A and B are shown apart, each in its own frame.
Chain A
């Protein structure tokens, strides 16, 4: 299984924890942006750490939303 992260821009408050945790995956500008990918555990950790649940994870094979 591998996760694909996307950002719910209406929820993102640019706190930047995701970019600090996974700088190869997330960049912060006026809003968080996905610029790469990473291990599922790291993506899940970043998603769980987001204070506004702005990181949405989908299963790359089925497309099903796995978080939140």
Chain B
């Protein structure tokens, strides 16, 4: 087979989707950590939150495209088991396996936001904090099995993306806000006042 790009369309498209996925995950994680560290001004936080959500959803789309394109690649011959089962593929199984795990975690942790009423906000917050692991596994996958990571510019660019993530993560961990002192819950008293008001009016 000649080296013409048209012979490697699936491979090229799969690599592109993978790079886009890593960029989107990085952007979403950086924005999320920035909001958690209160670096985003208060008036902008709601729109920042929406952007964070959209970046996460787009990254799920890119991850899915990355997997499907590589599964269809006639040269890689990964097949569905290769992209769906961690460490099952013959091509750099450890690094590729980490990517498969990262993909599953991204879907579970990201989409858990929409199930938080069912699973409870407390469990959702714990799951959400683990999202940084998705970035770490994705980065390891890209560096270990990504074809383009052999290029110094791409490799060092990927490593450079870890700097803001690590800094913001440290900020989040070591600058954790103190819990508010216990104060009487005014909601119950207010509800009682409303009920009393209602019974008097009736």
Interface on A for B, CB 8 Å cutoff? 4-7, 9-17, 19-21, 27-31, 33-37, 48-51, 58, 60-61, 63
**Which residue of chain B has the shortest Cβ distance to A13 in the bound complex?**
B121
From 98 to 128 in chain B, residues with beta carbon under 8 angstroms from any chain A beta carbon are 116-117, 120-122, 124-125, 128
Total A-B contacts with CB atoms under 8 angstroms apart: 81
Alpha-carbon distance between A30 and B183 when the two chains are bound, in angstroms: 13
From 145 to 194 in chain B, residues with beta carbon under 8 angstroms from any chain A beta carbon are 177, 179-187, 190-191, 193-194
Q: Flag if B194 contacts A31 (CB, 8 Å).
A: no
| Residues of B close to A37: CB separation below 8 A | 186, 190
**Which residue of chain A has the shortest Cβ distance to B120 in the bound complex?**
A10
Using known A-B contacts A11-B121, A13-B125, A31-B121, determine if residue A51 contacts B179 with beta carbons closer than 8 Å: no
Interface on B for A, CB 8 Å cutoff? 35, 38, 42-43, 45-46, 49-50, 116-117, 120-122, 124-125, 128, 177, 179-187, 190-191, 193-194, 197-198
28 A-B residue pairs with Cβ-Cβ distance under 8 Å, sorted by A, are A7-B187, A10-B116, A10-B120, A11-B116, A11-B117, A11-B121, A15-B35, A15-B45, A15-B49, A20-B42, A27-B180, A28-B177, A28-B179, A28-B180, A29-B180, A34-B186, A35-B183, A35-B184, A49-B42, A49-B43, A49-B46, A50-B46, A51-B49, A51-B50, A61-B197, A63-B194, A63-B197, A63-B198
